[in-house]
């Protein structure tokens, strides 16, 4: 009886997407919900590097949106995708609705890179992508505040992580992005 219950719970968790982090081999197995509705499957960007950044509108690091937009503009024609992931996990600094967040990003920083709906990036209810990133490369830092950056390689592997204070246009980030852009994926 106990084994059946365990199997049932595992099946329900997998069907709900909660068990995906342990089984996924690459970031391309994950999907976010778009801030505009619909989905943002990371598999849509196979062959392209993706910079996944948990963001917040009322944070001391919020001006990094400007650098993220500049990075996106500089490298998007070469294949880079910047994905903003609004999160209210750190200091309650993203309390707004999807419409408020989207409007703020567009009007204040002219953001036109993709944004997800508000997402949990740590603790209970963590999005499966963030659990996968945490577990797949224990040598890399995990989000401890807003504007933590994960770089996904074109093959879907986790290529790097950058702490909150690392500016999106820093040589460290731009070199990693350029290296990822130069990787061939077939």
Catalytic residue among 59, 81, 126, 131: 59
> What average pLDDT score do residues 155-179 get?
97
Higher pLDDT, 26 or 21: 26
The residue ranges of every structural domain in the chain are 26-181
Residue 15 has pLDDT above 80, yes or no: no
Neighbours of 45 (CB within 10 A): 20
pLDDT computed for residue 183 by the predictor: 85
Instruction: State the alpha helices, DSSP H only, in 39-127.
Output: 64-75, 98-109
Mean pLDDT of the chain: 90
Which residue's entry shows tokens 């342990």?
22
pLDDT computed for residue 20 by the predictor: 42
Q: What percent of the chain has pLDDT over 90?
A: 84
Q: Looking at the domain 26-181, which fold is it?
A: Glutaredoxin (3.40.30)
Higher pLDDT, 11 or 90: 90
Q: What pTM did the predictor assign?
A: 0.87
Q: Is position 105 annotated as part of the catalytic site? A: no
């Amino acid at each position: 009886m106990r084994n059946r219950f365990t199997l049932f719970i595992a099946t329900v968790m997998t069907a709900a997407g909660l068990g995906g982090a342990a089984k996924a081999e690459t970031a391309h197995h994950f999907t976010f919900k778009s801030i505009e509705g619909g989905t943002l499957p990371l598999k849509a960007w196979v062959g392209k590097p993706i910079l996944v950044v948990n963001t917040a509108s009322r944070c001391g690091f919020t001006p990094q949106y400007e650098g993220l937009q500049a990075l996106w503009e500089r490298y998007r024609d070469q294949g880079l995708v910047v994905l903003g992931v609004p999160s209210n996990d750190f200091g309650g600094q993203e309390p707004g609705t999807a419409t408020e967040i989207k409007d703020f990003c567009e009007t204040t920083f002219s953001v036109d890179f993709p944004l997800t709906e508000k997402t949990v990036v740590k603790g209970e209810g963590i999005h499966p992508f963030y659990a996968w990133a945490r577990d797949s490369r224990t040598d890399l830092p995990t989000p401890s505040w807003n504007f933590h950056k994960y770089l996904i390689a074109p093959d879907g592997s986790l290529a790097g992580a950058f702490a909150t204070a690392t500016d999106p246009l820093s040589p460290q980030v731009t070199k990693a992005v350029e290296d990822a852009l130069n990787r061939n994926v077939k």
